[in-house]
Amino acid sequence: MNETPTSPRPRAARSRVVDRIYEYDDYRQFLRDFFEEQKQLKSFFSHRYFAQHAGFSSHSFCAYIMEGKRNLSISSIRKMKKGLGLDAKRGQFFESLVLFNQAETEAEREEYFRQIQRIRKSVDFCRIRDDQRTFYDRWYYPVVREVAFYGKWDGDWAKLAKLVRPAITPEQAKEAVEALLEIGMLRRQEDGTIVQSAPVITSERLGGDVIKNVRSEFYRRGADASNSIPKDERHLAWSILAMSEATFREAAQLLDETRKRILVMALEDPAVDRIFDLNNSSFRSRKT
């Protein structure tokens, strides 16, 4: 599966503890490690400093939380996420982890544990390296990567080519597989079968120019598909909305989180029988 963000986002420098947040099963231990790290990195860091930055009225509140003497409420979780400087995905994980640790019933624990696992899977992506940029040289390379693994083609290039929609030539199918094997996107096992080197890949660290052409090609083919593919094999929806810049950014973030959740759903699907192109685009007019 290929995860292609609409635009690269520069990653702000953050603590190593925050970077490892997905490894934690205990939010109190995460907080203890974070505070210890910050004290080593910043001579001015203290419970009082953090409380003021996060919006807590009591500077001892966080100490009580880490000692297990208090629990976090929904409102204090939001303040804690602000103080920790968590982005949307890490913030979502932190909130689920808190609710998991503080759950009072087994049913609640199971539900929040499932949320934690979904988030962990959604961030377990293999990032494309600079030497793998050729993955976006042809629109059908990402498609062939999925079809070659999930499809039933038994080494027959013509059969593999027909599994792509619109169909490519057998020569293109062979060339695509060889290119994907060369850059490590596919791997040939000892028995000759083709497998993926990673279940999900992302291009979030590559420049937008790298995937510009293939993205344009997918948009064009998506438009063609809306007319040629039966309704029961596609889903189309669009809206023209009036909103503020702040609401637009919030909506874009929501769409991105939904797309990643769908990726996890696909990873957990035990009965894959076809490949879909899922993409969403949002554009804004000039300021009114």
**Which pLDDT belongs to residue 3?**
55
As a whole number, mean pLDDT of residues 182-210 equals: 79
Task: Estimate to the nearest angstrom the gap between the alpha carbon of 202 and the chain centroid.
Answer: 8
**Which pLDDT belongs to residue 6?**
46
Question: Confidence band (pLDDT; 50, 70, 90) for 177?
Answer: very high
Pick the more confident residue, 121 or 170: 170
Instruction: Please list the residues that pair with 3 across neighbouring strands.
Output: 202
Q: What is the mean pLDDT of the chain?
A: 83
Pick the more confident residue, 22 or 206: 22
Secondary structure of residue 243 in the 3-state scheme: coil
How many CB atoms neighbour CB 8 within 10 A?
Answer: 14
**Which pLDDT belongs to residue 31?**
97
Single pTM value for the model: 0.53
Domains annotated for the chain, with CATH where assigned, are 2-122 (no CATH), 130-207 (1.10.10)
Label residues 236-254 b or e (16+ Cβ within 10 Å = b): eeeeeeeeeeeeeeeeeee
**Which pLDDT belongs to residue 10?**
37
C-alpha–C-alpha distance, residues 60 and 48, integer Å: 8
Q: Which amino acid is at 235?
A: H
As a whole number, mean pLDDT of residues 205-222 equals: 68
To the nearest 10°, the Cα dihedral for 16, 19, 23, 27?
Answer: 80
Question: Confidence band (pLDDT; 50, 70, 90) for 71?
Answer: very high
Q: Is the pLDDT of residue 79 over 90?
A: yes
Counting residues of the chain whose pLDDT is more than 90, the rounded percentage is 45
Q: What digits encode the pLDDT tens for the residues 235-248? A: 777 677 788 888 88
Secondary structure of residue 265 in the 3-state scheme: helix
Phi-psi region of 201 (alpha: psi -120 to 50; beta: other; left: phi over 0): beta
